Amino acid sequence: MNIVVLVKQVPDSGSERSLRADDRTVDRASASNVINEMDEYAIEEALKIKEAHGGEVTVLTMGPASATESIRKALSMGPDKAVHVMDDALHGSCALATSKVLAAALATLNADIIVSGAESTDGRVQVMPQMLAERLGIAAVTGARKLTIEGTSLTAERQTEEGVEIVTAGMPAVVSVWDTINEPRYPSFKGIMQAKSKPLTVLSLADLGIAADEVGLAGASSQVVDAAKRPARQAGTRVTDSGEGGVALVDFLTSEKFV
Amino acid sequence: MSEVLVVVEHAAGAVKKVTLEMLTMARDLGTPSAVVFGAPGTAAPLAGKLAEYGAAKIYVAESDDIDGHLVAPKATVLARLVGEVSPAAVLIGSTQEGKEIAARVAVKLDNGLLTDVASLAADGTAKQAVFAGSTLVTSKVTRGRPLVTVRPNSLTPTPAPAAGDLSPVDTAVDDASKLVKVVERKAESKGSRPELTEASIVVSGGRGIGSADNFKLVEEFADLLGAAVGASRAATDSGFYPHQFQVGQTGKTVSPQLYVALGISGAIQHRAGMQTSKTIAVVNKDPEAPIFELADFGVVGDLFKIVPQAAEEIRKRR
């Protein structure tokens, strides 16, 4: 089985994040950059599929040079090799352009199954699996919290707004996963050492046959025209319960007309 | 005036609140037209409500293919409809499914897409809150028409009765739209409570609730306020409450009028999903808990004493 897992480097959601003042793209230079948390579950699921069905796991990342660090970290969990799409012209790409680039890279990888996180913690847009499936003409099974594969068909239990849905699809397919699907492994020392020498292929836009003006800020289909930090919330009244805390809470709710 | 397409979110034969919000938003941009997707017979019971909130026309896209597959058939039909009516804008709920329909339509039409939009001006500029609500962004689609997903609870819906003429649309789809079959749907009971992302009031419990059994306390308090029940990741990971109700970075994002956090410390994971709430009230025994930094009103103390007392007090005042 040829398994590809999508990995994105994002600014750590646990620290201060901001947009750059000049072009209003995500400020990566001043951020602590990490693997998108949900992608660790995707890597784990990809490794589980390999362990059960054989094959090879390839990490696919689009991002600047700094993303190499996240790719090596991903490889240390166990995938066999990685492809890094890197090109200065990609800076500021919208979701549509990103999906065009990733779809072109996927077309060279001949994947049976493409696993991704359900969303990235920076954009939280949740559109990439469907955009890729649309471009590649393959199935997209999103938000899986359980996945089983038999032969060339897969069955997933997916979380919806209303509850749970069971869906089936053939392969190839894009499958996105929530953090309820598994418990990602920690890289072993051996894994960390091996990751340094695993094959890492760097592809440019030219390698993928995509022109520079189709991507990046120049080719973006949407534009951020203004951005401002929201003033931090101010802590309000705080009381320590000495027997009347519940009444104080209701007084507050009443004053705000919720009771 | 140009039409504005509003994709109707519905469940169990009723129109969801976000749909009424989108119809209200659409009236500032043009003439609202609702688009209903579902199995045959879905649109008729929804029509009255859609007309009441301003839908001049209701496009009816009903077929077993639409009901029996993941989003692709809806996207195929919607993209075709956009081509036919050239709407001024397309509004879709910013739910998982809504974003996925929008994703495919964006690719099919090579049209820019904005998600989690709180407001949309007539010139197509949209407001979004990003990075867990810490940054406010103004943005616009620069290729194609405004194709946006609208965050629930962004505005107050108001009625504006219109004709609501039913208009069937062609629902034929190719095989590429039918690659993922839905074989079973299991609704997880939320009782009679409002839906989490749409609720005006949300009462959430965290690790401090201590057990699945104790979550009854959260539910009872929520029911008194007519609220939805949420849970922190610590609580869902511990099995206290179903994952479906998780509020936070890897769960639902909520933006209610009132958010009540019970026994929640306020890790960034949780704050990311609730800090755009209008008013926040907190009960936690740890005075150092970061959730207090967000609280308009906080009580430091034992929630197992404070919450029952508050519940009793609310009953008394009614």
| CA nearest neighbour of B138 among B148, B147, B149, B129 | B129
Output the pLDDT for position B190: 65
Q: Any bridge partners for residue A223, and if so which? A: B140
DSSP code, position B39 = S
Per-residue pLDDT reduced to its tens digit, B135-189? 899 999 999 999 999 999 999 999 999 999 999 999 999 999 999 999 999 887 6
CA-based Rg of chain A, rounded to a whole angstrom? Answer: 21
Report the pLDDT averaged over residues B5-11: 96
- pLDDT per residue, tens digit, chain A (259 aa), is 999 999 999 998 878 888 999 999 999 888 889 999 999 999 999 999 999 999 999 999 999 999 999 999 999 999 999 999 999 999 999 999 999 999 999 999 999 999 999 999 888 889 999 999 999 999 999 999 999 999 999 999 998 877 889 999 999 999 999 988 999 999 999 999 999 999 999 999 999 999 999 999 999 999 999 999 988 888 899 999 999 999 999 999 999 999 9
Does B192 reach chain A within 8 Å, measured CB to CB?
no
Q: CB-based contacts of B217: which residues, under 8 Å, 6+ apart? A: B205, B209, B262, B303, B304, B307, B308
Least confident of B45-59, B184-198, B221-235: B184-198
Residues of B in contact with A241 (CB under 8 A): 299-302, 305-306
- Please give the residue of chain A at the shortest CA–CA distance from B97: A160
Does B187 reach chain A within 8 Å, measured CB to CB?
yes
This prediction's pTM: 0.93
Output the pLDDT for position A29: 87
Output the pLDDT for position B1: 76
Residues of B in contact with A259 (CB under 8 A): 225, 314, 317
Residue B2 confidence class, pLDDT cut points 50, 70, 90 = very high
Per-residue pLDDT reduced to its tens digit, B201-253? 999 999 999 999 999 999 999 999 999 999 999 999 999 998 889 999 888 99
Q: CB-based contacts of B183: which residues, under 8 Å, 6+ apart? A: A155, A166, A167, A168
Q: Any bridge partners for residue A169, and if so which? A: A154, B180
Could you give the CA distance from residue B187 to residue B171 in angstroms, rounded to a whole number? 26
Give yes or no for residue B87 having a pLDDT over 80.
yes
Output the pLDDT for position B243: 87
Average pLDDT, chain B: 95
Output the pLDDT for position A31: 87
- Please give the residue of chain A at the shortest CA–CA distance from B174: A137
